Amino acid sequence: MTTFLKPPDIRRATVDDLAEVLRLERSVPEAPHWGESVYRDILLQEPVSTLQRALFVAVDHGQLAGFAVATVVVDQAELESIAVDPVQRRLGVGRALSEAVMLWAREAGAREILLEVRSANAGARALYGRLGFQETGLRRGYYFDPSDDAVLMSVSLSAAADL
């Protein structure tokens, strides 16, 4: 198993990361599956004051270990997608990516960050719980193939002082 001697290197993605991000996304069934143009738009968009979107990558020894996508609309952020390479899990990559997203979102003006997660996704729910997210609601039957409920979660970014 890979062991990080230091936290993974987290940075904003560039167009050069796209092929690896897509490869990882397609190998992770729980991640939302988007076309390449969606990622390309995130990287190439001009930020406007009311909407900002970011793609972060975690890199270990030059290899993509994970990625995350988030959006800030005015004062609310959403963690839209996060995925870690299955062989790199439980090493702190997901946590480091999430914390980078939370810092970025706070600096972009968000006061809270929201997300939705399959109720059956115990690993992701555990990660979010460790990061201080609280469950705020349930959307019954929100997911299909396989069908599942969506658990809504949020955390106040002003309270996350130790980021």
Q: How far apart are CA 79 and CA 116, in angstroms?
A: 8
Q: How far apart are CA 141 and CA 5, in angstroms?
A: 42
128 is an active site residue? yes
Cis bond upstream, residue 7 (ω within 30): no
CB nearer to ligand COA: pick between 72 and 131:
131
**The tokens 């890199």 sit on which residue?**
59
**The tokens 């190998």 sit on which residue?**
27
CB nearer to ligand COA: pick between 89 and 111:
89
* Min separation Cβ 32 and ligand COA, Å: 8
Is residue 155 involved in binding ligand COA (CB under 6 A)?
Answer: no
State the angle between helix axes of 18-27 and 36-44 in degrees (0 to 180), rounded to the nearest 10.
Answer: 140
The two three-digit tokens of residue 155, written as one number = 């955390």
Residues from 31 through 90 that contact ligand COA (CB under 6 A) = 31, 82-84, 89-90
Residues from 82 through 141 that contact ligand COA (CB under 6 A) = 82-84, 89-95, 117, 121-124, 126-127, 130
Q: Which residues are annotated as catalytic?
A: 116, 128
Interaction site with ligand COA (CB under 6 A): 28, 30-31, 82-84, 89-95, 117, 121-124, 126-127, 130
